[in-house]
């Protein structure tokens, strides 16, 4: 099931945070903006949270799953951000999918894949279980909207010509425009 990035980020900004998200796309700004939005919403709700960002290897998957299922000693929840969950194989993959179906209410999980391979069982199962949010570079006609948004976030105003010029310079990713 596909979920619209814009709709999901709006839900997060209103404090409606799901326990598990699955992002696909290689626009690092969009990935980071989503993670920061979830983190901010959780801090607003709980006051304090812990955040763990991981790029696991296949040998680390069982430890990560244990951490996800563990109830924290302290009252604040933990936000886990895991890039490249395709390293989860066999039993670890099954356990990850089971976790996504019935997550620990004390923890939150964001799974990020830069390039999705729809032939991989895990990607399809995750998309079917929690929904897939595309964080790929926007199409050309949507890029101007993102650039205007970036100016607004920075408290700046820009002419249409300035927006067009930045789009020419930045190319096709929000990440390049933001930097």
- What digits encode the pLDDT tens for the residues 93-112? 999 999 999 999 889 999 99
Q: Do the Cβ atoms of 25 and 137 come closer than 8 Å?
A: yes
The residue ranges of every structural domain in the chain are 2-134, 140-178
What local confidence, expressed as pLDDT, does residue 101 receive? 96
What local confidence, expressed as pLDDT, does residue 11 receive? 96
Per DSSP, the chain holds a count of helices (H) and strands (E) of 8, 6
Full-model pTM: 0.84
CA distance 64 to 77: 15
Which tokens go with 47?
A: 């006051």
Superfamily of domain 2-134: P-loop containing nucleotide triphosphate hydrolases (3.40.50.300)
pLDDT digits (tens, 9 = 90+) for 19-44: 999 999 988 989 999 999 999 999 99
Q: Do the Cβ atoms of 78 and 107 come closer than 8 Å?
A: yes
What DSSP character marks residue 153? Answer: H
- What stretches of 55-159 show up as alpha helix (H) in DSSP? 61-69, 90-101, 121-130, 140-153
């Amino acid at each position: 099931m596909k979920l619209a990035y814009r709709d999901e980020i709006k839900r997060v900004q209103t404090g409606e945070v799901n326990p598990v998200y699955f992002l696909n796309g290689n626009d690092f700004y969009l990935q980071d903006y989503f993670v920061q939005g979830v983190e901010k919403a959780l801090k607003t709700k709980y006051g304090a949270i812990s955040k763990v960002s991981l790029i696991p290897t296949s040998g680390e998957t069982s430890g990560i799953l244990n951490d996800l299922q563990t109830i924290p000693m302290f009252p604040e929840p933990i936000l886990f951000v895991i890039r490249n969950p395709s390293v989860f194989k066999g039993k670890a993959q099954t356990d990850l999918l089971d976790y996504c179906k019935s997550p620990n209410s004390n923890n939150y999980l964001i799974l990020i894949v830069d390039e999705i391979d729809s032939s991989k069982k895990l990607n399809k199962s995750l998309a079917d279980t929690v929904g897939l949010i595309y964080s790929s570079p926007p199409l050309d006609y949507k890029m101007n909207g993102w650039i205007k948004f970036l100016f607004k976030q920075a408290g700046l105003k820009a002419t249409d010509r300035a927006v067009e010029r930045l789009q020419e310079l930045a190319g096709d990713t929000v990440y390049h425009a933001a930097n």
